[in-house]
Chain A
């Protein structure tokens, strides 16, 4: 550590301690430091504006050919007319320009960038997706089983970890990557899959999820089918936040789950090729949170709405608003304590880790 560096550290430590000395009581050393600080702060702005505004934005571009910049230059100088009472009104022209341009930007940006997105987010979303299978089968899904109750002709479709779909019982894989079931045809096991007529088939999908379901979290499950010649898959069963959709879900082991759906294709089901898809998503119940947010936003807005007296329904809502506001301000206070303490930590960190550490270089 050089002598200059030590001097700088000691100077910084001196002004830091000088300002902290006010904590004991007001004293001349504190006052000296305080007034120097005020002067340096004002002086800093002179250098900054001179360089970044006067030279970089005005003078140099004007010399470079942008002669019309003399207009904002003059508008800027007119600001100083405020110091002469007789001419102080002239500074209004510059001020009006600043206010006009700023207001023009504000109108659109405040509405488009703050009001609309914040309102929009308040109005959408009962549940929030927190995890999902990454492909039709999902990297964490063990397999899909189609059965009519007789083990002999079950078709088991499995997903292997190498990210390719491996079909255990069926030989063909559709272009989409969906396992393909050739209903009514003979599979490699020599058995057929009953996908015809009135007979229902049980769709079973086993998936694994190592993450433990958190508070208010649940799975949504969807079985889809794409029939031969159709471009889009259609949903045959889907569980939502409101209902299971006929899908039963049981935990078969630690982190493994079995989703089952009894699919009755009815007469509509034709013999042919079918792509089957299974999707699982981990979601969090957000309707409680959504309710809190909607009530809170409305109650807060009404609390700060002073154009009508807070009586009747307005008064009740405003009262609810106060409770919300108290929780928020409590959180704010907690955070403010954290912030103020952090600033003190910063100074103490300097004093201990740099200033006191410099003692070893001196003594």
Chain B
């Protein structure tokens, strides 16, 4: 068993992922208090507020993060909030913000420049986050496509963090730490975080301290949020495959340990 070619394991994983997409099953998705808190805190924002949706993730984690940004945009547009997107990721961040936001905005008939703006990317998130506290325009003189902010009606009423009611940060890296330590701590803008599963355990500390009002962890967190907003989509559909692979990995771990203890038992007996 120890000598099993690893490619058999790869094949098992591949089959476990594919089957639920061929034979889909509707699975109940339980809601954690952290995800409920995300939904509740967005619901509590007055309709029509200006909010930040931050695309701080690389294309590598698009499967986990994009369902979060997509659902957040739907949630905000449903509440007629004005959405300002930006990214601190030099690899694909601004492009994904542009594509996703335009797609969701079309669903709600939102107009670019009036209902939403994509500020794009600037180097150095520490400087960007600090600088926007005084003036967003000094850090982002133009939007992502080069249009001066002064020509975008939405930005007439958005000068710095004082004009931002909420930050919805979706991150697969440590930028979330700086949104907390710089923006939330110094400027008091309430925020929540959607993060990859790898990052979620760390951010329980920020939820406990009240620095994050809520937390979405990985694809399950995204599925919970989709469920709460009432728009089940990619993340909810992925839960079948997620379940099967988890069970497969647990079975593999159990199998590996059984083999390990049998060998250890035999070795001990031989020694005696």
A positions within 8 Å CB-CB of B: 23-24, 41, 44-45, 48-49, 51-53, 55-57, 60-61, 98, 101-102, 105-106, 109-110, 112-114, 117-118, 120-121, 293, 328, 331-332, 335-339, 341-349, 352-353
Q: Determine the chain B residues whose CB is within 8 A of the CB of A344 once the complex forms.
A: 13, 17, 245
Say yes or no: is B200 at the interface (Cβ < 8 Å to chain A).
yes
Given the interface pairs A53-B123, A61-B141, A114-B180, the reply to whether A48 lies near B94 with Cβ below 8 Å is yes
Say yes or no: is B110 at the interface (Cβ < 8 Å to chain A).
no
Q: Which residue of A lies closest to B33 (CB)?
A: A130
Q: How far is the CB of A321 from chain B (nearest CB, A)?
A: 16
Q: How far is the CB of A305 from chain B (nearest CB, A)?
A: 19
Q: Residue B63 contacts which of A48, A105, A347 (CB distance < 8 angstroms)?
A: A347
Q: Which residue of B lies closest to A41 (CB)?
A: B91
In the bound assembly, the distance between CA atoms of A106 and B126 in angstroms comes to: 8
Q: Which residue of B lies closest to A335 (CB)?
A: B197
Given the interface pairs A53-B123, A338-B246, the reply to whether A343 lies near B63 with Cβ below 8 Å is yes
Q: How far is the CB of A204 from chain B (nearest CB, A)?
A: 33
17 A-B contact pairs sorted by A residue (CB < 8 Å): A56-B142, A57-B122, A102-B124, A102-B127, A105-B130, A109-B182, A109-B185, A110-B181, A112-B185, A113-B184, A332-B201, A335-B218, A342-B219, A344-B13, A345-B219, A346-B234, A349-B238
Closest 10 CB pairs of A and B: A346-B63, A113-B181, A113-B185, A339-B197, A121-B209, A342-B219, A338-B197, A335-B197, A352-B21, A109-B181
Q: Which residue of B lies closest to A66 (CB)?
A: B141
- B90 near A48 with CB under 8 A, answer yes
Given the interface pairs A55-B146, A109-B181, A121-B208, the reply to whether A23 lies near B7 with Cβ below 8 Å is yes
- A339 near B64 with CB under 8 A, answer yes
In the bound assembly, the distance between CA atoms of A332 and B209 in angstroms comes to: 20
- A52 near B122 with CB under 8 A, answer yes
Q: Determine the chain A residues whose CB is within 8 A of the CB of B121 once the complex forms.
A: 48, 52
- A337 near B249 with CB under 8 A, answer yes
Q: Residue B141 contacts which of A48, A60, A121 (CB distance < 8 angstroms)?
A: A60
Q: Determine the chain A residues whose CB is within 8 A of the CB of B18 once the complex forms.
A: 348, 352
Q: Residue A105 contacts which of B60, B127, B140 (CB distance < 8 angstroms)?
A: B127
Interface of A: prevailing SS: helix
Q: Determine the chain A residues whose CB is within 8 A of the CB of B218 once the complex forms.
A: 335, 338-339, 342
Q: Determine the chain B residues whose CB is within 8 A of the CB of A52 once the complex forms.
A: 94, 120-123, 144
Say yes or no: is B241 at the interface (Cβ < 8 Å to chain A).
yes
Q: Determine the chain A residues whose CB is within 8 A of the CB of B7 once the complex forms.
A: 23-24
Q: How far is the CB of A36 from chain B (nearest CB, A)?
A: 15
Given the interface pairs A342-B197, A345-B63, the reply to whether A49 lies near B123 with Cβ below 8 Å is yes
Q: C-beta contact mask, B181-203 vs A, less than 8 Å → 1, else 0?
A: 11011100000000011101100
In the bound assembly, the distance between CA atoms of A342 and B220 in angstroms comes to: 9
Q: Determine the chain B residues whose CB is within 8 A of the CB of A120 once the complex forms.
A: 209
Q: How far is the CB of A122 from chain B (nearest CB, A)?
A: 9
- A353 near B21 with CB under 8 A, answer yes
Q: Determine the chain A residues whose CB is within 8 A of the CB of B61 once the complex forms.
A: 339, 343
In the bound assembly, the distance between CA atoms of A55 and B142 in angstroms comes to: 10
- B209 near A118 with CB under 8 A, answer yes
Q: How far is the CB of B251 from chain A (nearest CB, A)?
A: 13
Given the interface pairs A53-B122, A55-B146, A114-B180, the reply to whether A338 lies near B220 with Cβ below 8 Å is yes
Say yes or no: is B205 at the interface (Cβ < 8 Å to chain A).
yes
Q: Which residue of B lies closest to A106 (CB)?
A: B126
Total interface residues in chain B, CB < 8 Å: 60
In the bound assembly, the distance between CA atoms of A321 and B241 in angstroms comes to: 36
Q: How far is the CB of A336 from chain B (nearest CB, A)?
A: 5
Say yes or no: is B260 at the interface (Cβ < 8 Å to chain A).
no
In the bound assembly, the distance between CA atoms of A183 and B211 in angstroms comes to: 48
Question: Which residues 204-233 of B have a CB within 8 angstroms of A?
Answer: 205, 208-211, 217-220
Q: Determine the chain A residues whose CB is within 8 A of the CB of B254 once the complex forms.
A: none
In the bound assembly, the distance between CA atoms of A337 and B126 in angstroms comes to: 30
Q: Which of B7, B13, B123, B181 has the most CB of A within 10 A?
A: B181
In the bound assembly, the distance between CA atoms of A191 and B218 in angstroms comes to: 64
Q: Determine the chain B residues whose CB is within 8 A of the CB of A49 once the complex forms.
A: 90, 123
In the bound assembly, the distance between CA atoms of A101 and B126 in angstroms comes to: 9
Q: How far is the CB of B203 from chain A (nearest CB, A)?
A: 11
Q: Determine the chain B residues whose CB is within 8 A of the CB of A338 once the complex forms.
A: 197, 218-220, 242, 246
Q: Which residue of B lies closest to A125 (CB)?
A: B208
Q: A120-B209, A337-B249 are in contact. List 11 more A-B contacts (CB 8 A).
A: A23-B7, A49-B90, A52-B144, A105-B126, A112-B186, A118-B209, A336-B198, A338-B219, A339-B61, A345-B17, A352-B21
Q: Which residue of A lies closest to B92 (CB)?
A: A44
Q: Determine the chain B residues whose CB is within 8 A of the CB of A24 once the complex forms.
A: 7
In the bound assembly, the distance between CA atoms of A105 and B203 in angstroms comes to: 22
- B17 near A117 with CB under 8 A, answer no
Q: Determine the chain B residues whose CB is within 8 A of the CB of A101 once the complex forms.
A: 127
- B141 near A57 with CB under 8 A, answer yes
Q: C-beta contact mask, B60-101 vs A, less than 8 Å → 1, else 0?
A: 111110000000000000000000000000111010000000
In the bound assembly, the distance between CA atoms of A38 and B144 in angstroms comes to: 24
- B186 near A109 with CB under 8 A, answer yes
Say yes or no: is B265 at the interface (Cβ < 8 Å to chain A).
no
Q: Which residue of A lies closest to B140 (CB)?
A: A56
Q: Determine the chain A residues whose CB is within 8 A of the CB of B130 once the complex forms.
A: 105, 109
Given the interface pairs A113-B184, A345-B219, the reply to whether A102 lies near B242 with Cβ below 8 Å is no
Say yes or no: is B272 at the interface (Cβ < 8 Å to chain A).
no
Q: How far is the CB of A153 from chain B (nearest CB, A)?
A: 45
In the bound assembly, the distance between CA atoms of A349 and B184 in angstroms comes to: 36
Q: Which residue of A lies closest to B10 (CB)?
A: A23
In the bound assembly, the distance between CA atoms of A293 and B94 in angstroms comes to: 39
In the bound assembly, the distance between CA atoms of A349 and B67 in angstroms comes to: 13
